[in-house]
Structure 1
Amino acid sequence: MAAVVFTVDATTATGHPALSSEEIADAAAAHPDVLIPFGSVDPHGGAASVRRIRSLVDAHGVRGFKFHPSLQGFTPNDPAFYPLYEAITEAGVPALFHTGQTGIGAGLPGGRGIKLRLSDPMLLDDVAADFPELTVVLAHPSVPWQDAAISMATHKANVYIDLSGWSPKYFPPQLVRAANSMLRRKVLFGSDFPVLTADRWIADFATLEIKDEVRPLIMKDNAVRMLGLG
């Protein structure tokens, strides 16, 4: 089993300095057979964040970038952030976006100020359309916007869905149907460790009625193709 490892740089939105994507990538380089480093930049960082994207790829071997619009406090289809996607597209690596509900701030007054609407996957339809060469991964079942995510992944060749963050036994029925049929080559295994362990995810996934020929696509083959590891 291999793992994608990353942090989320939400320095501007939260006021807390982020963990170092450079340190994460450099540590992952010691175990390249099992660790795949993704980077994160503060979307509000302007030209400095664009330069950092290039540095993370060129100098630190980052294989993709993670965004969390709700936590980072930005509207992902605002053209002001398009220079970030231009740099990622030029680097030839994917962009992974948190979508749907988040456990961060859940149950707190005002949800700790985190706005769920910023993680509506339909906002990323603009990004996927305007950057057809950019691989866009919609992280997690996009509750409560699952149908929108399925529609996007069906419509656009450059859009994928990862299945992390939720136990498979709680997957919306339409997601299971799509993963088993029209999106069999567009959905990706992920656990969201340490929130959800890989062992639990795999055990719960085994209970779903997924076709035998589809399981290896979801568990490995689709990710290998999407990440260019083959």
Structure 2
Amino acid sequence: MPRARRGAEDLDLPSFVPVPRPGGGSRLLARLPEVDARAYEELVGAALPAIERALGPEVVANRALPGPGVRLEPVAAARARHRAALAALLRARDVRAVLVLDVADFYPSTAPVAVERALRWAGGPALAEPLGRLLRSLGERGVRGLPVGPEPSAVLANAVLGPLDAALRGAELRHLRWVDDVIAPAPGPDAARRGLDRAFGALDALGLAANPRKTRILTEPEEVRAMARWGVPSGPPR
């Protein structure tokens, strides 16, 4: 395995594997060196109970299963829960618009400082510094933001966007979040726009931004009905 030198240390370099994106193009999955992968799993596993307690039910993908280590709910079960919850939200009589939001380049754009803040927010402050240090070390070796692929990254991704969930709740919008894909039914376009403004503010504070190609407010009845049929983002949850 290739190695990098930092001071007196010799550090193994991660490797990257391109995989196709469902909508076209590709992304790079990170294969971490064994020592880093083990440290990542242990640190996130220790933070996992606090993160799960801090997350609301609107966060659907990549929820932890009981037991030791980082074990996540199977994707099929999470998708089924998402479809059922979304159908229930859209059946509400007052739904006249739907806010749809996606975070641009989410994993690579998530800085270690955002992870540290998320852990302090979730109640795991003792783990913030060592996890931030590990992510910075990986960044020096070519990994941008959260490594794509390892399950611990999925756990941290849920925690990082906790302020986005809080912003939408503050706008009095019920919503569902699948990693960084948000669906928030609203009583009308004005309410959806207020929610979007709050979401923009929350993302900006995290050093993130919405993807303009995938962020919009649906108002046509057929668009709202189609959202119920769509049910869940087509891409993988992590």
Which protein is bigger by CA-based radius of gyration?
2
Provide TM-score, normalisation by structure 2: 0.28
